[in-house]
């Protein structure tokens, strides 16, 4: 499995379909390079019948049979799964009047269990400093986060959850975990472990190569 991924590592990254959540099938995956092994276009066994990415891949193979569409098999499905999962998981956040990015900030303060500075929160949530500053202002105004000035440097703020912020995170998290458990129940436990290991390997390689993605 890993060898196959390394064979294709020269192909630039792309997406097999449109922006997450739209379901649009655009040509963003057309940048893939030539097939790394002969006869790739005939390896239909890799595709899974019945999902949208399989249809996209078949269409691109018909248009460009000389290109290696293999990365679409993985990247396209990761993107599609991510979009569909996020749509459902964001429902309790919307009910609480939170964006996912705002919940990530609250979650970082809850799971670390101690005060964090804005720059530390930016690193924890893979966000830019400017984006974190804007979100912190909104969460502070809502009474979910409170800040304490640094005694040695007045420019530095230390942030922590209020009781209301902690209760909000603790109320939302079980609902999210219950949904995730139900989604993954279609996979056997060993399949979940294998998938987690593969995604962990891919993520660690991407983070080591590109660093955090700032939003």
User: What pLDDT shows up at residue 209?
Assistant: 63
User: What pLDDT shows up at residue 49?
Assistant: 60
User: What pLDDT shows up at residue 176?
Assistant: 85
Confirm whether 29 is domain-assigned.
yes
User: What pLDDT shows up at residue 180?
Assistant: 87
Apex 71 CA angle, 69 and 77, nearest 5: 110
The residue segments making up the domain with residue 8 are 2-88
User: What pLDDT shows up at residue 118?
Assistant: 92
Do residues 73 and 112 both lie within one domain?
Answer: no
Confirm whether 123 is domain-assigned.
yes
Do residues 8 and 81 both lie within one domain?
Answer: yes
Number of domains within the chain: 2
pLDDT in tens, the chain (215 residues): 444 444 333 333 333 333 333 333 333 333 333 333 333 333 344 445 678 999 999 999 999 999 999 999 999 999 999 988 888 778 888 889 999 999 999 999 999 989 999 999 999 998 999 999 999 999 999 999 999 887 777 778 899 999 999 999 999 999 888 888 988 999 999 999 999 999 999 999 988 865 554 54
Confirm whether 125 is domain-assigned.
yes
CA 206, CA 198: separation in Å to the nearest integer?
12
Do residues 43 and 82 both lie within one domain?
Answer: yes
User: What pLDDT shows up at residue 207?
Assistant: 85
């Amino acid at each position: 499995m890993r060898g196959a991924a390394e064979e294709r590592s020269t192909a630039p990254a792309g997406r097999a379909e449109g922006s997450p959540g739209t379901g649009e099938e655009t040509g963003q995956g057309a940048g893939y390079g030539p097939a790394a092994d002969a006869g790739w276009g005939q390896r239909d066994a890799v595709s899974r019948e019945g999902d949208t990415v399989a249809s996209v891949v078949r269409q691109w193979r018909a248009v460009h049979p000389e290109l290696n569409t293999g990365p679409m098999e993985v990247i396209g499905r990761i993107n599609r799964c991510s979009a569909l999962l996020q749509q459902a998981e964001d429902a309790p956040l919307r009910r609480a009047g939170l964006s996912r990015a705002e919940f990530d900030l609250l979650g970082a303060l809850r799971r670390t269990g101690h005060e964090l500075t804005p720059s530390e929160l930016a690193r924890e949530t893979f966000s830019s400093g400017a984006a974190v500053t804007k979100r912190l202002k909104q969460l502070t105004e809502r009474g979910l986060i409170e800040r304490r000035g640094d005694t040695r440097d007045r420019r530095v703020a230390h942030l922590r959850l209020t009781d209301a912020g902690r209760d909000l995170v603790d109320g939302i998290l079980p609902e999210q975990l219950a949904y995730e458990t139900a989604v993954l129940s279609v996979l056997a436990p060993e399949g979940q472990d294998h998938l987690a290991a593969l995604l962990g390997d891919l993520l660690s390689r991407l983070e080591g190569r590109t660093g955090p993605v700032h939003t």
